[in-house]
Structure formats: structure tokens, C-alpha cells
Structure 1
């Protein structure tokens, strides 16, 4: 008779922090995406590469552009009904400059940061 191993409870982190904000910066563009961790899908994204945004922005890679990207992403998240996100910073990313501009514009627009 084979005894199955005891059932483990599901990982709590999947339920407490399902939406994660990830940012990437190149020399020309800024991209911010919100992932749904349990299903590994992109819930919403905003980028300075979008043609509708490039025409309204003068510069696509500075701090002001990052703030606009954060505001647009926050509007898209609230429209989809996502009230809170977790910020994921890579090892080389520090909380200042473009990163701070995106995160601050998200919080000022009404998205809660966990």
C-alpha cells in the first residue's frame, strides 16, 4: 500500500500579491508591464513605443516620459479593475529617477502599492 504525501497548502504569495509591476528601460524607450503571477499572463502594459503616445511625448526616454507611462498604466489598470500591484525591482534598479517617477505616478493615480 502506497501512502501519498501530505497535501501542502497553496502558496500564500500567489493569493496575496497576484499582480506584479515590472519595468524595463532602454536608451530610447520605457516599458512598464503588470503580470498576473498565478496565470503568468500580462494584465496590462504601457510603453513609450506606442504610436499614439510617441506623438504626444517630446522625449521618449526621460523622467517626464516615465511619469506619463505610469499615469497611462494606472488608468488602464483601474479600467480593468486591478486596484493594487506589487513592485518588482531588478537588482540594478534603484528607487530613484525613472523608476520613482513610474511608481509615484501609479500611486497618485489611485493604484495601491503592496
Structure 2
């Protein structure tokens, strides 16, 4: 059943009802094959705020989040004392690694931002993902 719009005057005897198409959801654009052949299939990205630790794995050819873990999740908030320290980052990495293995994603690539160095929270997340059994490319 479509939507109806009124065309013409507001007088009911002169109104014409036209059936309109419902709005369609537009999928995200697919990257051309010339670009996707050089991309790593799955990439681990991390984001650290003053309150939380977030990590996600993105399937780069389709730009869809394959798996994610965050210290903002309700189930994790209850079991963590501090949601922003190195111990929280290690727990997030361990949980993300288990979720990746549950989705049959055996390997991920790590791309660090320019200001991120391999120490502290970044090291804790990467080492925990590696210890969970996920291979890092």
C-alpha cells in the first residue's frame, strides 16, 4: 500500500489522489574492484576516549563492521571497575578475539593512526586479540 498525496485545491470535490512510491533504502556504495584488490580483508581499528575503550574489525571491501567490542556494553560495565585503563583494554581485546573466532575470522590486519604507538592500551588490545587465537597480518 503506497502513500497518498493531495494534488489540486483543498476543496474535496476537486482533489486528486495520487499513489506515491514508499521511500527506498539506499545501500552503501560498493568499492570498485580495482581498489578492493589491494585492501586487507579485515582491519582492526581502535578508539580510546577518556571514559571508554572501543575496538572494531571492519570488512574493508564492503565497509561493514564485522565485529566490535566496547567498554560501554551493558554486560561489560558490570564486571569492570575502570572502563578506560589498560586492564579494560586487555579485556576488550580478549572479548573481540573470541567474537572474531566465533564468526570464523581467523586473521585481521592492524592499522594504527599516526599518533598511536604500540604501547599502553594499544598494546593491550593487540596482544589480547593475538592471545585469543586470531592471527595478525
TM range (shorter): 0.7 to 0.9
Shift of 1:82: 0.2
Coordinate RMSD, CA, aligned: 1.1
Higher helix share: 1
Provide the aligned length of Structure 1 versus Structure 2: 104
* Residue 28 of structure 1 pairs with residue 40 of structure 2: no
What residue ranges of structure 2 are gaps of 5+ in the alignment?
Answer: 1-32
The residue aligned with 1:5 is none
d(CA) in 2 for partners of 1:41 and 1:57?
A: 28
d(CA) in 1 for partners of 2:94 and 2:131?
A: 8
- What's the TM-score once normalised by structure 2's chain length? 0.73
Aligned residue for 2:113, secondary structure, equals coil
**Structure exhibiting the larger radius of gyration computed from Cα positions:** 2
- What's the TM-score once normalised by structure 1's chain length? 0.88
Moved over 6 A (4+): none
Larger relative contact order (Cα-Cα within 8 Å, sequence gap ≥ 6): 1
The residue aligned with 1:97 is 120
What residue ranges of structure 1 are gaps of 5+ in the alignment?
Answer: 1-8
d(CA) in 1 for partners of 2:53 and 2:133?
A: 21
